[in-house]
């Protein structure tokens, strides 16, 4: 029960890493506001939590909107009286190189991934101050730490999340507000296996790029997010922690 008595807001909570984290946070005692653009998905996660004896509520929001991000934080505080944990997990990607990517796709990725993280921090921090501190966890990526082909918008946005994390951590450490980010490798979420790489051979090939020889699971990222959100990580702030099966530990130079 590492989050017992705490209130958590999770964006992108309807599927993948967000869903796994909402279930795990609730199992560890948190009251969870599950934020997603899809009513069906967010409500399904809430039903799973409450069915297991936890406490949760759904909130539908387009996190590209400042008003929506403000309202989701206020909804959690109005319902439960406080805010202790924010997991800025929402994000999206569009494939393309700089000359080919449309301005609309660039803006969509930056706003959904980077702007929403800033907005979450902007509206959460004043409430965390009032309760003497809190923990913010942001979903970055290994592609925020290294470059990758055909991913200029995504890599730029996730690198922004990494350094935004560091800056906010430094600015608010004196207020006992810790800010860290998780940097997943390729995780077998619905978005990855159904959209980005639906072919089984593509998934297997991508898994082999990781020294552990497989894709990651959403629950493995949720476990790291839980640790960073909890008081067990009380002396960790400003960190960008890979959860990537060793992907960026290896240069690849020695591979045949």
- Which residues have a catalytic role annotated? 154
CA dihedral (179, 120, 146, 183) positive or negative: positive
Query: Using an 8 Å Cβ cutoff, are 169 and 238 in contact?
Result: yes
Find all residues with CB under 8 Å of 116, minimum gap 6, and list them.
Answer: 11, 63, 64, 69, 88, 90, 91
CA dihedral (201, 202, 205, 211) positive or negative: negative
CA dihedral (112, 12, 190, 179) positive or negative: positive
Rounded to 10 degrees, the C-alpha dihedral 181/186/189/191 comes to: 100
């Amino acid at each position: 029960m590492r989050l017992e008595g705490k209130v958590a807001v999770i964006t992108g909570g309807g599927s993948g890493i967000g869903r796994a984290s909402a279930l795990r946070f609730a199992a560890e005692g948190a009251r969870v506001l599950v934020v997603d653009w899809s009513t069906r998905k967010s409500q399904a996660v809430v039903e799973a939590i409450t069915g297991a004896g936890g406490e949760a509520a759904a909130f539908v929001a387009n996190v590209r909107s400042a008003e929506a991000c403000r309202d989701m934080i206020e909804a959690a505080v109005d319902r439960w009286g406080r805010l202790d944990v924010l997991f800025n997990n929402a994000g999206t990607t569009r494939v393309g190189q700089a000359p080919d990517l449309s301005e609309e796709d660039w803006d969509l990725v930056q706003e959904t991934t980077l702007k929403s993280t800033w907005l979450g921090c902007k509206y959460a921090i004043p409430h965390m101050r009032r309760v003497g501190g809190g923990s913010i966890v942001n979903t970055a990526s290994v592609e925020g730490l290294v470059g990758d082909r055909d991913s200029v918008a995504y890599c730029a946005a996730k690198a922004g999340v990494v350094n935004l994390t560091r800056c906010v951590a430094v600015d608010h450490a004196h207020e006992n507000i810790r800010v860290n980010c998780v940097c997943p490798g390729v995780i077998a979420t619905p978005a990855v296996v159904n959209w980005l790489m639906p072919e089984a051979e593509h998934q297997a090939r991508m898994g082999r790029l990781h020294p552990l020889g497989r894709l990651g699971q959403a629950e493995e990222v949720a476990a790291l997010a839980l640790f960073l959100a909890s008081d067990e990580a009380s002396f960790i702030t400003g960190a960008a922690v890979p959860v990537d099966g060793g992907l960026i530990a290896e240069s690849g130079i020695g591979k045949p």
